[in-house]
Structure formats: C-alpha cells, structure tokens
Amino acid sequence: MDNDLNELEQMLRDRAAEVPHVQDVPPTMLTRARRRVARNAVASVLGAVVIVAGASAGLANLRGSGGTLPASSPSVAQLTGCAASDLQGMVSLGGAMGSVEGSIDLTNVGGAPCTLTGRPGVSISDAHGNEVSVQVTPSEPQWKANAAPEPQGWPVVSLQPGSAASVRVRWSNACPQLSGPVSWQIDLGNGAGTLDASSTDASFVPPCNGPTEPSTLEVGPFEPSAGA
C-alpha cells in the first residue's frame, strides 16, 4: 500500500517536473485582465443606475400610496457578484412524499460583501463522481411558497461576510435507486464559477418510484437564507 502511494507520488512529481519553473507573463493575460476589470466597473455602474432607478420608482410608489419608507436599506450598488471561491455550500434535505426536499445554503466565507442574483445551475454526482441524470425545472422561492413578504432587495441577495443565501430544491424519483452518498454542484452562472455543496446527510436520495419516468430536480432562485 505504502509502495503504491510512494510510486503514485513519485509519478506525479515526475509529471510536475515537465512544467517549467519560470514562466513569462503572457501579454494576452494582462490585456484580458484589464478588459475584465473594466467590464466589471461598467457593470457596477450600470447596476447602480438600475438600482437607483428602481429605488426612485419604489419611492414614488410609496409616496403615491401613502406608505412608509423602510428605516434603511443596505446599498448594493458597490457590491460585486459572489464568486464560487467566496462561498461555502451546504445542502440540507428531508424526506417529503417520495421526494427529498430542502435547501442549498451558500455562506459568504470571503472577506468582502457580494451579491447573488437569479437561479443557479444545480447538478448532482453519485458516489463515483458521475453526474446523475436529472430533469431540472424552475420552482418558486421558499418565501413565496410560505406566502411571506418579499425579502428586501430581492431578487438581488446581498451577502455580508458570514451571512448566507438559500436555494430551494426538491429532488424526486432517482432511478435506478441510488444508495448514496451523492454530492451537489452549484453553478452560480455569469461565469462566477461552480462550487460543491456538502450535505448534512449525503446518503439522502429519493426513492425510485417510476423506473421509466425521469428523475426531476426543482430549483428555486437565490433568496436570503431563513436563518440569516
């Protein structure tokens, strides 16, 4: 066993030695980096314009309807979109009528506030790392299912360091029956990257109720975590 590991380690080191020690900085990389930074800056400005316009419209509505203004609202104009490397994912599931249902919680473990918007791409891998075939369909957010008031700022979810966003999921009919454990992969979209979400119980998989029917995965949009 030790011999096998030593041989594997030595093979990896031999392969690593094929990569030269000193590398010049590719001019194309710096050009792309400058473009990306400039694009992010433009996106931030456009985002700020949209938010200011939305806020103005909201104020006008409140004034028109005699409503009261919220005490204060965090400014998200300067916040950037969360990257996968900023987040840590955790899946919490429970059994529900032949399905497993729950949420994917994404905690900002980075050092700066950031935002999430829209609906992530979600995929599931079996114990061997192979992607499980599922038919993904959009579902409504948990707050709407609970008939709760719309969270402030939604559909933009602002995450301070340490706070979490949530994505509602419901998975049904895993055929052939999986024995677990499974892992969940979350694609944040817009090139923000993909992260793996660990599970409180990785073996939680739905029963195979219809071998000829597809396995379905309902995925909601980002929303503030109920525990946030």
Partner 1 sequence: MSEAEGGRLAELYVRHAAEATRLAYMLTGDRQLAEDLVQDAFVKLAGRLVHLRDPGAFDAYLRRTIVNLANSHFRRKRVERSYLNRTAAEPPRVGDAPDTGRRDELWNGLQRLPVRQRTAIVLRIYEDLPEQRVADILGCRPGTVRSLVSRGLAELRVHVRSDGDG
**ω into 74 cis (within 30 of 0):** no
Q: Is residue 104 involved in binding partner 1 (CB under 8 A)?
A: no
Q: Please pick, from the candidates 2, 3, 23, 149, the single residue that binds partner 1 as defined by CB under 8 A.
A: 23
Q: Is residue 202 involved in binding partner 1 (CB under 8 A)?
A: yes
Q: What is the DSSP secondary-structure string of 26-80?
A: PHHHHHHHHHHHHHHHHHHHHHHHHHHHHHHHHHHHHHHHTPPPPS-----TTPE
Locate 26 and state its tokens: 């590719």
Question: What size, in residues, is the chain?
Answer: 228
Stretch of 49-57, 61-69, 196-204, 213-221 lying at the interface with partner 1 (CB under 8 A): 196-204
Residue 51 or 83 with smaller CB distance to partner 1: 83
Q: Is residue 181 involved in binding partner 1 (CB under 8 A)?
A: yes
Is residue 152 within 8 Å of 76, Cβ to Cβ?
A: no
Q: Please pick, from the candidates 151, 153, 155, 193, the single residue that binds partner 1 as defined by CB under 8 A.
A: 193
For the chain, first and last CA: distance in Å? Answer: 47
Residue 194 or 216 with smaller CB distance to partner 1: 194
Locate 75 and state its tokens: 């400014």
- Binding footprint of partner 1 on the chain (CB under 8 A): 4-5, 7-16, 18-23, 25-26, 28-30, 32-34, 36-38, 40, 80, 83-85, 88-89, 110-112, 123, 125, 127-131, 181, 183, 185, 187, 191, 193-198, 202
